[in-house]
Structure 1
């Protein structure tokens, strides 16, 4: 099953929520790793670090929802590439975008 992510303002984050991605500071250093469960102390510390928003886990998709989402992205990718020829560069780009989008959906 795919995980549903939500981008939240730090003010809307609550203790007990799980980070869906590594949380980085302005220099790219990991403040909290993916999967961390937020605590009140962490939220206070993040405010001091100037963090404005973060991504949290909001739930999981059912297999039916996941299939719908994949179909939607496949259709969008088809539309994006509808007028392009099958040159190696276009084929590679299409494959890269498809792999990226369908594995993250």
Structure 2
């Protein structure tokens, strides 16, 4: 993935922006390859695939946008892992995902 990218909510992505990574559907099929220049028609089609955010090349985010994006991602992680209980492997996985999203590499 390009080092200069940012995750943007689909509602903030505009035609002409460039994908920083392959866009995959729920089962891992490539919908659009990295470096695709997005069009209005593509954005409409993406919305039908239950995709809520895209990694976009060269977009500089404000500190507030980064903070809001992280909060959204952490809420999503909590929702995904809401039924894990005390399962040690799942708790470890959740912890790794949270550290990854917070930019902590260990």
Q: Give 3-state SS (helix, strand or coil) of 1:45's partner.
A: helix
Counting only pairs closer than 5 Å after superposition, residues 13-92 of structure 1 correspond to structure 2 as: 13-58=13-58
The Cα offsets for residues 44-89 of structure 1, whole Å up to 9 and x where unpaired, read as: 0000111111101016xxxxxxxxxxxxxxxxxxxxxxxxxxxxxx
Secondary structure of 1:46's counterpart equals helix
User: 1:3 Cα shift?
Assistant: 4.1
Q: How many residues align?
A: 59
Separation of aligned partners in 1, 2:41 and 2:26: 20
Secondary structure in 1 aligned to 2:31? strand
What's the C-alpha RMSD, in Å, of the aligned pairs? 1.8
Segments of structure 2 that go 5 or more residues without pairing to the other structure are 60-106
Alignment partner, residue 84 of structure 1: none
Deviation >4 Å, runs of 4+: none
Give 3-state SS (helix, strand or coil) of 1:50's partner.
coil
Residue 27 of structure 1: CA displacement?
A: 0.5
TM-score w.r.t. the length of structure 2 is: 0.52
Highest relative contact order (Cα 8 Å, sep 6+), 1 or 2? 1
What's the TM-score once normalised by structure 1's chain length?
0.52
Gaps of 5+ in 1: 60-105
